[in-house]
Structure 1
Amino acid sequence: MFDHFVVSVVVCPVLVALAVRWLSDRLRPEQAVTVLVISIVTAAAAGLVSLGAFAVKAVAELHPVAVRLGFSDAVVRADTEREPWVSALSAVLLVAALAGMARVWWQHRRELVVAAEFRGLPVDADRVTMIDDVRAEAFAVPGAPGRVVVTTGMRSALTDQQYGALLAHERAHLDSRHHHLVLFARLAAAANPVFRWLTRRIEYLVERAADERAAEQVGDRRVVARAIGAAALRASDTRLGLSMAPAGWDLRSAGVVPRRVASLLAPPYAARLLALIVLPLAVAAGSVVWTGECVADLGELLYAAGLLH
């Protein structure tokens, strides 16, 4: 079973991470970000299941457990006698992964509580809640209904065209449910450390995806670029930390502003590389198949151990 550990927990996640990193700068973000996140989450989930299978094996290797359940612990241990550490290591990694995912989920629940405060405020027909504050802030608050929160300080810093671009950008986050993509990416990163260096990349990609959606709605990429630059400059001058703003959902602040502006001012990405998006998907799917074999092999091993006892 050791080869299953190597492939599902180490090799496939690394290959998926490399593919996502390479493709993220070469594809239109609004076309690629969802598929890239699906690839990461699938590979992370497959790795978790493999760790779970080895954790079960670690328990079955304990003599008192094997005696009580009618297994031969010697047969179970013999399967990985050259790598006796792999079962115990997998159990430790599984506990660490679950603890990390629990922390991410707890933080998400805290943000939901904070967001509930905004849903109690008035919202206009454009799904906008305006807050009287000199600080320049704007962010999307998902929920039922979702809304865009804008301070008067931000509104006064933008022209009507730029303000329209800002609203289009934030509505793109709501309509595309980008907060879910960011949450799933963070959970995957907690499940497998290989994906931690991609978290910022995914957050940046959802910003770029919202930029492109806004550019399509506004019809002028330069207007959106100017709106991003003006909003960032104004925010840097006034931001003291809006106490009610859910930090994890202020998606605008997660991106690198100069790169976003430069991407909007450059020609849009060509679609010819879109077919390459199957690379991380194929690797992630292969990881799932390999994990299925791991679980099947574990079942056969336990069955054999029971017969030989």
Structure 2
Amino acid sequence: MLTVPVVVVALTALLADRLPPSPAAAALAWSAAGAALASLLNLVAFTVKAAAEIPFVAGRFGWSYQVVIADTGHVRWVPWLCAILLVSAAVAVRTVVKRHRGGRSQALRLTASATGDQVILVPSEKIDAFAVPGRPGHVVVTTAMRQILTDEQYEALLAHERAHLEQDHFRLMLLSDLAGAVHPALLWVSRRVGYLVERAADEHAAAALGDRRVLARAIGTAALAADGRPSLTAGPFVSFAKTRRPGAIPRRVAALLRGQDHRRRLWPAAIPAALAVSSLVWTGEALYDLVELLVTAHG
């Protein structure tokens, strides 16, 4: 229940750089979400068992609390620890949802006056640019950002942000952030997915432009100019000029200048996915065992 996410993190560390960025981001985000869901369901199951150990609750449902207690009598503290962890996870999940909703609402206010153009130029001295998902999605660019980039670099920026919209990277970031909220070990996966979606957008934009160096120079120019300055909006939207991971900007630039590695294979993505699926299967068995226990306690 609690160890599978740790194994997913270990596999992520080993496999993330062996996959192309786009499938790596999807595989890690969904694997982390699956492992987190399994962990959450296990916490719910043990919390229900803890509640069933309370005489008043057991009496309301016709259960024998002595039978329920006897099932884990040698480790009576486990169900109650799980109840505490479930509350903690619920608070963390609520915080993530609130942050994503708040950031989205703040960004949508910037696009409220859009007249059909996908790109919205916002008057601001802050050096910022990001994509806002929706129907249709938009790309927000500040006037300060536009001024520091050449026309070629500006087109590279737009191609990068449009890639975020086309590949639905915001869903992957939300999944990984929720997984990190459920299980602290998965916070590392969340940060890794944030980096990989940026790399995926870089590769997509570089392919569209046909010039990797222009995009690399655009990223470097924007990052240097925005260093130490606040972003235009908070929340889940990653600025073109900033990143969640320290040192990620130099790594992105280096990867673009180095060129795409076509030797990478997709099959390693199946390993964390299989582990996440197996954890859900084990969780199903645990839930079945809980139902059997409660039926026995009722009997």
Task: Provide the TM-score with structure 2 as the length reference.
Answer: 0.93
Aligned position for 2:112: 120
Aligned position for 2:270: 278
Alpha-carbon deviations, 1:228-255, whole Å to 9, x = none? 1111122227x3443xx23421343225
Kindly report which structure 2 residues correspond to 1:1-309, keeping only aligned pairs within 5 A, or say none.
9-122=1-114, 125=117, 127-236=118-227, 239-242=229-232, 245-252=233-240, 253-254=242-243, 256-307=248-299
Aligned position for 1:5: none
Alpha-carbon deviations, 1:74-116, whole Å to 9, x = none? 1111111121111101111111111110111111221122122
2:103 aligned partner, one-letter code: E
- What is the deviation of 1:196? 1.4
Partner Cα distance (1:22, 1:291) in 2 = 25
- What is the deviation of 1:271? 4.3
Three-state SS of the structure 1 residue aligned to 2:285 is helix
Task: State the 4+ residue runs in structure 1 displaced beyond 6 angstroms.
Answer: none
In structure 2, runs of 5+ residues without a counterpart are none
In structure 1, runs of 5+ residues without a counterpart are 1-8
Alpha-carbon deviations, 1:268-303, whole Å to 9, x = none? 234443211111001000000000000000011111
Three-state SS of the structure 2 residue aligned to 1:249 is coil
- What is the deviation of 1:142? 1.5
Moved more, 287-296 or 97-106: 97-106
1:262 aligned partner, one-letter code: A
Contact 2:6 / 2:185 at 8 angstroms: preserved in 1? yes
Partner Cα distance (1:273, 1:141) in 2 = 31
Contact 1:27 / 1:269 at 8 angstroms: preserved in 2? no
Partner Cα distance (2:58, 2:226) in 1 = 62
- What is the deviation of 1:201? 1.2
Three-state SS of the structure 2 residue aligned to 1:24 is helix
Cα 1:267–1:102 change in 2 (3 A) is same
1:174 aligned partner, one-letter code: L
Alpha-carbon deviations, 1:40-64, whole Å to 9, x = none? 0011001111111111100111122
Three-state SS of the structure 1 residue aligned to 2:50 is helix
Partner Cα distance (1:241, 1:306) in 2 = 58
Three-state SS of the structure 1 residue aligned to 2:73 is coil
**How large is the RMSD of aligned CA atoms in angstroms?**
1.7
Contact 1:123 / 1:147 at 8 angstroms: preserved in 2? no
Partner Cα distance (1:139, 1:175) in 2 = 13
Cα 1:158–1:59 change in 2 (3 A) is same
Partner Cα distance (1:133, 1:105) in 2 = 28
Cα 1:240–1:89 change in 2 (3 A) is closer
1:46 aligned partner, one-letter code: A
Partner Cα distance (1:123, 1:86) in 2 = 57
Contact 2:120 / 2:138 at 8 angstroms: preserved in 1? yes
Contact 2:20 / 2:265 at 8 angstroms: preserved in 1? no
Cα 1:271–1:73 change in 2 (3 A) is farther
